Structure 1
């Protein structure tokens, strides 16, 4: 028996040694060995204003945290000092808008660098209702938390301790929204108990892409960190396991209706489309929109392109993350840091993902960087990401479409990555954005600050220009072109022979091309440069000149305009079909400017209307914009709508982003004898495919339609104007699918009806965006592109 026990012990020892060896081999100490390379892109930092000092001794500078605008068209900027004041900046001068510390009085607390007056945001209707929101740190005796800590709070010595403080979100209502000094009222929305002093409530924000009637309009997003660590050195990375627990707001992004009242405290609403509202677990918080985050203190939305939401999540000891904001996502914190496995009781080790990782359904970063510490550094060297914005301004053309962010610790580098490369399931390459202080290039932002830590933050104005703040010197700076900026905003217009039509024109921005054919009065094609066209073209009519007297329709294809409603054509023109030739297909005049083409039709003899179509491209984006104007030149007043008809090649599917709720009970109105057999509506997304044997048409109140091809998608936008009447049973958008042999679909938009009198004009702008396909599943891709 003793011999057996000895053999058993030896076998067990060998097994332990084997397992430990395997773990040691699996440990990762340098997760991203490839260094971040410096970019060719560069910017200068231009000082805008110095905010007055608010501290004492060696930390006198105002601790600036967020800069933003009110969205009221005033051009005012607002920036907060975490020690309690909100400043308004007008024409480069900063004055105090409100003193929260004074208004909150003794309840306000600022015991650590992450506490105080942290963030603020304006309601999208601030210009009318004067409402905005703030989050502040307050002492625990100041109120009862709506979300108390329910687990024992333990420090690094394993002692049970008291919680740190409360974070309070308040709604403020200004009596006069246009005033530069606040006067008004406030109310408390919600209160969260924080177990530790750090990792508190972060940014507040409204989706700037959401329009009235959209599901997301007026809903407040709240970034909430995991509640902090148990001290330094860290002995437990997520000591209360908040990241993965759906019964606490800590480690989450929340989404609430601040003007609603169905919450437990009755002070706000919980949207019924939040992802965990109906998970049948009474402990789950319906306010949660996404979870598994460590410190997601900054987020923003791209106001162009696909409107992506981007969340910067500060890492523990290894990885800083840029995440796509995805409804219901679990970003893995507590178990994952970046795309690696963490060990909760040892922050200094990482492990590769397991082979069966997919079963956990984690959402991983779309860009990440690790904690590279230069070898010459001695002592503490902090590294932590701060989120920024996708640049959509006009001052730095080469920066358009780049997501700008930085490290706010000792690293202090600025970074950029193309927003189009931030794709779920992939890793984008981060580059270091080069900085100039005036005419002098500097290695780091610290060289400008003259400090050992950057504490940098980003802000944005109504024009999409990006600003930089720092808690270290209290200055507001603006990103401007550097001395090296060399990429002008250039659009070319080239005369060409297109498909046999002389005197055609190609507009190009170097990325996409629009082909304009005055001989048939239309935009015939829209495509990526050297790519396949997306518009349908009738090759049987190439090079032909239309006959306006023909009773047959000259169906050339492309993008054109007709007057609506079609039901009045016979009364006005004497025939119900084909379309009025002056609008549809007749040689027109082309006015060529250096960066645009305008088509000008003759005056239609029946409607007395001349048509102008101005075609432009965005300088650095795959976007075409057409503004179609009807000018009433002669004749009696005419009730008319601008109708844009875009014919596109046979698609995989076409989609419409339906408003919620739609004006139509079914989400559409039937405009053909039969409905498409495969018409579907699911969670605000309408989809259908072309029927080869029968044509179909439906109308809707959508403002955004999508054509999905094999390699590229085309999104067409034309916002509906609320409260006005549209043709075709009040349809502002229509989808038509044609039967064989002409395999095409039409995506159509209409303007509100207007009685047009001589001398008056009306117009409709349609925006066309080319988007490369990145997913195999067309419906999933459509939802991403359309926000559904």
Structure 2
């Protein structure tokens, strides 16, 4: 069964031929509020958030990395899920984690009782379009003040567009579907390369990854087009009730008349998963490749990551160059894997040997690696283990412990071999 799924998904996640697809006319993205909202709303400049100078970085990066030997463990052996795509924590309850299914359902699990049932938390199955294999409910993030405001944010697809919405949960047990506040929508010309992750950064802003809109080779040149939301990392401030969102004052293209003010970085193909390494103060994105290269990028404000002129460090469009685009911090060829799944830098306590290492994998090969960055962000890569998992995501609980999400329906952890 896995081989069949791999063959089907490899056609979409890697460089498949789509010459027979009729290319639709691209449409401009719109900002949207629920109900009688205007078709487009100009961005509103935000004041910078205040930082507490007395707060010290709680994360310690070790001086070196020496991996041990590892194996996967099934902590929820009695539970299974249908096409799970993400695992997140709420920042409030150390015993709870949440599993996101592509079809639109979010389940709550209690770690202390691994034999307990999965508890329905959010059901968007009626709203989510899953007609393409890379479409569905793709991301979930809880507000940093979730304990006080009950807000959670989702990224899902519907009828040819991506939707970023806010919902409310008053009791932290269920979500009120009538509370949806649509923050942002943008068109998706094809069914693949939707990106889909969203996370709150240490700065309190919401970051959203978007793919290049799909097909093969970015035929609409979306990733390099600063008037398009596609092929980008977006950054918005959601702490407003009067508008869908605000634009952070230090967004790099805020005052450009030829760029979307929400854009934080661009030139990305399909940054399916990204995360923050708070110990090193880095934003790390894993960008799924075309026909040859999978890459890991260190995302900076205003950065251009080269797609579709370059695939990783290799020229993709012969005869076309870019000035000052940013190269990957690490890349690997398709002989090692064909669809990178980004993970997290580990700062938990259960696996001391992984402290400070960025753990990631590959959806097709099932390999799990650790990327170690030195003081100058020079990378060394270590293979941790080979698995038969279809790794769709990694996740962290509130203690920073790592989970592996298998698209075939299971949730795993890593443990050191005895």
Global fold match (TM > 0.5):
yes
For residues 11-410 of structure 1, the aligned pairs below 5 Å read 41-49=68-76, 62-90=82-110, 91=112, 92=114, 93=116, 94-101=118-125, 105=126, 107-139=127-159, 165-177=160-172, 180-183=173-176, 185-207=179-201, 210=202, 216-217=203-204, 219-229=205-215, 234=216, 237-260=217-240, 266-279=243-256, 281=257, 283-304=258-279, 306-343=280-317, 360-372=323-335, 383-409=338-364
**For the residues of structure 2 that align with 1:294 and 1:277, how far apart are their CA atoms?**
23
- Rg bigger for which structure? 1
Question: CA distance change for structure 1 residues 250 and 65 in 2, over 3 Å: closer, same or farther?
Answer: same
**For the residues of structure 1 that align with 2:79 and 2:92, how far apart are their CA atoms?**
26
**Residue of 433, 439, 453 corresponding to 2:384:** 433
**For the residues of structure 1 that align with 2:109 and 2:98, how far apart are their CA atoms?**
6
1:477 aligns with 2:412: yes
- CA shift, 1:272, in A, is 1.7
**For the residues of structure 2 that align with 1:220 and 1:287, how far apart are their CA atoms?**
11
Q: Deviations over 1:398-432 (max 9, x none)?
A: 110111000111x2211111133672xx5x23221
Q: Which has the higher contact order (CA 8 A, sep 6+)?
A: 2
Q: Deviations over 1:242-261 (max 9, x none)?
A: 11110000000000012337
- CA shift, 1:182, in A, is 2.8
Structure 2 spans left out of the alignment, 5+ residues: 1-65
**For the residues of structure 2 that align with 1:269 and 1:189, how far apart are their CA atoms?**
10
Question: CA distance change for structure 1 residues 50 and 183 in 2, over 3 Å: closer, same or farther?
Answer: farther
For residues 699-710 of structure 1, the aligned pairs below 5 Å read none
Whether contact under 8 Å (2:67, 2:353) holds in the other structure is no
Question: CA distance change for structure 1 residues 286 and 40 in 2, over 3 Å: closer, same or farther?
Answer: closer
Indicate the SS of the match to 1:202. Answer: coil
- CA shift, 1:190, in A, is 1.1
**For the residues of structure 2 that align with 1:277 and 1:40, how far apart are their CA atoms?**
43
- CA shift, 1:51, in A, is 7.9
Structure 1 spans left out of the alignment, 5+ residues: 1-38, 54-60, 140-164, 211-215, 345-350, 374-381, 435-443, 484-788
Indicate the SS of the match to 1:127. Answer: helix
Whether contact under 8 Å (1:176, 1:183) holds in the other structure is no
Structure with the higher helix share, 1 or 2 = 1
Whether contact under 8 Å (2:157, 2:163) holds in the other structure is yes
Indicate the SS of the match to 1:320. Answer: strand
**For the residues of structure 2 that align with 1:277 and 1:295, how far apart are their CA atoms?**
24
Whether contact under 8 Å (1:202, 1:223) holds in the other structure is yes
Indicate the SS of the match to 2:147. Answer: helix
Whether contact under 8 Å (2:156, 2:196) holds in the other structure is no
Indicate the SS of the match to 1:429. Answer: strand
Q: Deviations over 1:430-458 (max 9, x none)?
A: 22113xxxxxxxxx311xx5xxxx14321
Q: Which residue of 1 aligns with 2:27?
A: none
- CA shift, 1:133, in A, is 0.3
**For the residues of structure 1 that align with 2:119 and 2:376, how far apart are their CA atoms?**
38
Q: How many residues are paired up?
A: 348
- CA shift, 1:73, in A, is 3.8
CA RMSD of aligned residues (A): 2.1
**For the residues of structure 2 that align with 1:400 and 1:384, how far apart are their CA atoms?**
25
Q: Which residue of 2 aligns with 1:445?
A: 387
